[in-house]
Amino acid sequence: MRANDKKAQERHTTAEERHEAARDEQNNESKPYIPLASGADDGWSKEDLATATCFCGAVQLAFPTQGSSLVASFVCHCTDCRKITASMFASNFTILDPYLTHIRGRDNLTAYSQSKTITSGNTMTNYFCKTCGTLMYRLNGARPGRNICRIGTVDDFNLHETKLKPMGEIYVKDRCTWLSPIEGAKQIEGQSAKK
Ligand SMILES: [Zn+2]
Ligand SMILES: [Zn+2]
């Protein structure tokens, strides 16, 4: 092999290896995978703490990804969640109050409360980014201190697949017919007692 050909082949191998390394990062669920998914590019994920950011980037939260302050992760198919997410279900995780930190943008949140559509009759207060409209979390008036956050706002997409993967599905009686149950997730007809 001529020296030039050898050099070209080496370069080729290196580019291929680089490409493979990037692909490994996406597939390796033990490492953060933070794709560009919002106006902000400063989301992060550590061993037990990670960020959640709204679509425009004005609001950023930090929350624990393990331990007892992460209460639950669940999908809710109720009619209220379908409407408020403008989608077919809400994917939630609950964080106890002192552990949810507002990194920035708390004053850029707007609150909307109502009790009309809530089965229990309780008031739910929803906190949206004023700029882009992302729903960051909800609070149930009857269960203060339990912030119902949104898995989709979490910057490290590998957490969606691992630590935040829904443990259960509630209001499955309202689930859209073209959706299947999540494998391994507890199926609950109505409201979970633990929500
Ligand atoms: Zn925003
Ligand atoms: Zn719901």
Break the chain into its structural domains and give their ranges: 39-187
Element at 15 (helix H, strand E): helix 3-27
**Contact yes or no for 68/47 (Cβ under 8 A):** no
Distance 90 CA to ligand 1 centre (A): 18
pLDDT for 192 equals 63
Question: At 43, which helix (H) or strand (E)?
Answer: none
pTM, two decimal places: 0.83
Confidence label for 115 from pLDDT (cuts 50, 70 and 90) = confident
Contact 66, 59 (CB under 8 A): no
Ligand lying closest to the C-alpha of residue 124: 2
pLDDT digits (tens, 9 = 90+) for 151-179: 999 999 999 999 999 999 999 999 999 99
Task: Round to whole Å and give the CA distance between 48 and 63.
Answer: 8
How far is ligand 2, taken at its centre, from the CA of residue 76, in Å?
4
Q: Would you say domain 39-187 falls under CATH 2.60.40.1180?
A: no
Q: In this structure, which ligand is nearest to the CA of 38?
A: 1
121-152 pLDDT tens trace: 789 999 999 999 999 999 998 888 999 999 99
